[in-house]
């Protein structure tokens, strides 16, 4: 790997010894082996549920923040956290965190997430929340070193061997206490912290730039598609007022008609004991076979009585249409009766409306027409969707616009894939550096941060 080659430019320690741990191998001769229980005390987070969380009060780090939001480190002064009532301060001191504490999520939905943690890097009252384990270093001087050690792939491998579960993987205090750790001297720990802080900051900055590039590409993609399906491709064509506020002006030769003049609602149940492809619609990708994105999805479901879908249909998730769960089907198959199937009734290109329906401003219009007592219960029924006015270019122009969009989509996808691959390589580089430094594969005792000109 590219990351591994880069690591090799650093020097190794002059002498190593067998660690006595098969999966760890050799460690520098001056390092020692220990167990986590000798270096940490352990506790648990608050016994609460999501219903106990609120917008104000004492910040609270629950397992959701550990898994998906902030990762390696967390600071309530920077990161937006849910809170609990200040009344919890009276009788829950054991769940209050100190700067440098490690907060583990005690459950994970996949084996790779087992051992996910974050470290509190600020002072002030902060609670560990539900489904968390607190690991408090007995020596807090180099608490940053612990974060790097616990994040390395060798330590995480131990956890994956130790956790139990099938659909949900659980980690316990007993498992954590018994995990092996390897320790350089306090001075070496300081050198490792300085080295990794410098190197990972550089890598994280590069990752952020690639992530920003991906966001810019997505915005550009939306803007190009939006202009194409509402204004056309000819910048010199005469325009007219569409009479529809959210559409604005459209080309003079385009029609504007309600959706029910373009599509009809189809409710054709499948036969029993069928073997049709089970399809679903996703906000991120549109329509796809469920087995491709949810490996267990096609096996566990009976599709008897599900709606028949034909290639060219539009599938609408009534509950999530306003969030983008709508799209063109490239497949014959079946889908849940919870979804609506739209089939064209005029000479139109349904892919044109796939692109139109998945635009942000169209989704806002979907939301306006949706019914429900609260936002997450809003449903867009065909009765309302059918009344929403849509632009209708001539069929030949729809085909040209779709062809143009598909070419642009391919170009943007290639650029996004390149940026995504760069992020993967940088993350591999980061992981390799952390592991190499905290396991002693490289010697950073004499490392000095380069000057600006050297960088």
**What mean pLDDT comes out for the span 123-127?**
92
Q: Could you give the dihedral angle defined by the CA atoms of residues 379, 372, 370 and 339, in that order, rounded to the nearest 10 degrees?
A: 10
pLDDT above 70 coverage of the chain, percent: 95
Label residue 453 by pLDDT band (50, 70, 90): low
Structure tokens at 451: 């000057």
The answer to whether residue 323 scores a pLDDT higher than 60 is: yes
Other beta carbons within 10 angstroms of residue 350's beta carbon come to 21
Whole-number average pLDDT of the chain: 91
Question: Angle CA(66)–CA(161)–CA(12) in degrees, nearest 5?
Answer: 85
Residue 315: strand pairing partners = 327, 341
Residue 356: predicted pLDDT: 98
pLDDT tens digits for range 200-237: 999 999 999 999 999 999 999 999 999 999 999 999 99
Lowest-pLDDT range, 161-170, 248-257, 323-332? 161-170
Q: How far is CA 364 from the centre of its chain?
A: 23
The answer to whether residue 128 scores a pLDDT higher than 90 is: yes
The answer to whether residue 13 scores a pLDDT higher than 60 is: yes
Residue 35: strand pairing partners = 180
The answer to whether residue 190 scores a pLDDT higher than 90 is: yes
pLDDT tens digits for range 68-117: 765 688 888 888 899 999 999 988 999 999 999 999 999 888 888 888 99
Nearest to 221 by CA among 422, 405, 421, 423: 405
Residue 223: predicted pLDDT: 96
DSSP sequence for 19-61: -S-TTT-EEETT-EEEEGGGTEEEEE--S--GGG-BSSSEEEE
Label residue 301 by pLDDT band (50, 70, 90): low
The answer to whether residue 446 scores a pLDDT higher than 80 is: yes
Nearest to 47 by CA among 73, 82, 84, 80: 84
**What mean pLDDT comes out for the span 338-360?**
96
Beta carbons of 340 and 318 less than 8 angstroms apart = yes
The answer to whether residue 120 scores a pLDDT higher than 80 is: yes
Lowest-pLDDT range, 4-18, 58-72, 171-185? 4-18
**241 or 295, higher pLDDT:** 241
Complete domains list, the chain, with CATH:
32-183 (3.90.220.20), 233-392 (3.90.220.20)
Residue 164: strand pairing partners = 170
Residue 71: predicted pLDDT: 66
Taking the C-alpha atoms of residue 121 and residue 74, their distance in angstroms, rounded to an integer, is 6
SS3 139: coil
Residues in the chain: 455
Residue 1: predicted pLDDT: 41
pLDDT tens digits for range 398-419: 999 999 999 999 999 999 999 9
Taking the C-alpha atoms of residue 76 and residue 103, their distance in angstroms, rounded to an integer, is 14
DSSP E strands in 252-356: the ranges are 255-258, 263-266, 279-282, 286-289, 307-309, 314-317, 326-328, 333-335, 339-344
The answer to whether residue 337 scores a pLDDT higher than 60 is: yes
Label residue 5 by pLDDT band (50, 70, 90): very low
Taking the C-alpha atoms of residue 434 and residue 426, their distance in angstroms, rounded to an integer, is 12
Count Cβ neighbours within 10 Å for each residue of 134-163 and write b for 16 or more, e otherwise: bbbbeeeebbbbbbbbbbbebbbebbeebb
> What is the pTM for the complete model shown?
0.82
SS3 344: strand
Does residue 350 come out as left (phi exceeding 0), alpha (psi in the -120 to 50 range) or beta? alpha
Residue 2: predicted pLDDT: 42
Residue 266: strand pairing partners = 341
SS3 272: coil
SS3 194: helix
218-226: list long-range contacts, CB under 8 Å, 24+ apart. 218/416, 220/412, 221/408, 221/409, 221/412, 222/359, 222/360, 224/405, 224/408, 225/355, 225/359, 225/405, 225/408, 226/359, 226/361
Question: Angle CA(48)–CA(151)–CA(99) in degrees, nearest 5?
Answer: 55
For residue 453, the 8-state DSSP code is: T
Nearest to 281 by CA among 293, 270, 272, 273: 293
Sheet holding 339-344, edge to edge: 263-266, 339-344, 314-317, 326-328
């Amino acid at each position: 790997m590219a990351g591994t080659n880069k690591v090799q430019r650093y020097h190794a320690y002059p002498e190593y010894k067998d660690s006595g741990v098969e999966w760890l191998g050799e460690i520098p001769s001056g390092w020692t082996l220990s167990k986590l229980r000798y270096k940490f005390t352990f506790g648990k987070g608050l016994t609460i549920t999501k219903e106990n969380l609120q917008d104000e009060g004492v910040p609270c780090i629950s397992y959701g923040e550990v898994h998906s939001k902030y990762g390696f480190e967390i600071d309530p002064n920077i990161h937006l956290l849910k809170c609990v009532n200040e009344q919890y301060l009276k009788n829950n001191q054991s769940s209050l965190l100190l700067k440098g504490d490690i907060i583990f999520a005690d459950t994970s939905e996949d084996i790779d997430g087992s051992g996910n943690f974050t470290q509190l890097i600020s002072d002030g009252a902060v609670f560990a929340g539900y489904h968390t384990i607190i690991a408090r270093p007995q020596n807090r001087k180099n608490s940053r070193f612990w974060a790097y050690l616990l994040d390395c792939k060798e330590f995480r491998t131990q956890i994956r061997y130790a956790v139990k579960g099938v659909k949900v993987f659980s980690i316990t205090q007993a498992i954590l206490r018994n995990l092996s750790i390897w320790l350089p001297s306090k001075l070496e720990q300081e050198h490792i912290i300085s080295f990794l802080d410098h190197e990972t900051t550089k890598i994280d900055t590069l990752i952020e730039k690639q992530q920003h590039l991906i966001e810019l590409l997505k915005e550009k993609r939306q803007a190009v598609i939006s202009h194409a399906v509402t204004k056309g491709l000819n910048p010199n064509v005469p325009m007219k007022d569409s009479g529809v506020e959210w559409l604005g002006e459209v080309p003079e030769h385009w029609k504007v008609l309600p959706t029910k003049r373009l599509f009809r609602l189809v409710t054709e149940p499948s036969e029993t004991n069928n073997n049709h492809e089970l399809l679903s619609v996703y906000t991120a990708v549109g329509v796809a076979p469920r087995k491709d994105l949810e490996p267990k999805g096609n096996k566990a479901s009976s599709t008897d009585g599900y709606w028949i879908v034909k290639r060219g249909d539009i599938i609408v998730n009534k509950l999530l249409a306003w969030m983008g769960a709508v799209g063109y089907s490239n497949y014959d198959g079946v889908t849940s009766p919870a979804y609506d199937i739209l089939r064209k009734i005029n000479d139109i290109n349904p892919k044109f409306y796939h692109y139109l329906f998945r635009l942000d401003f169209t989704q806002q219009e979907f939301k306006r027409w949706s019914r429900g007592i609260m936002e997450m219960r809003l449903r867009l029924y065909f009765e309302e969707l059918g009344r929403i006015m849509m632009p209708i270019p001539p069929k030949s122009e729809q085909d040209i616009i779709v062809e143009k969009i598909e070419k642009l989509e391919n170009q943007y996808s290639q650029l996004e894939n390149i940026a995504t691959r760069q992020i993967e390589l940088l993350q591999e580089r980061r992981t390799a550096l952390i592991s190499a430094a905290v396991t002693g594969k490289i010697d950073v005792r004499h490392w000095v941060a380069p000057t600006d000109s050297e960088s």
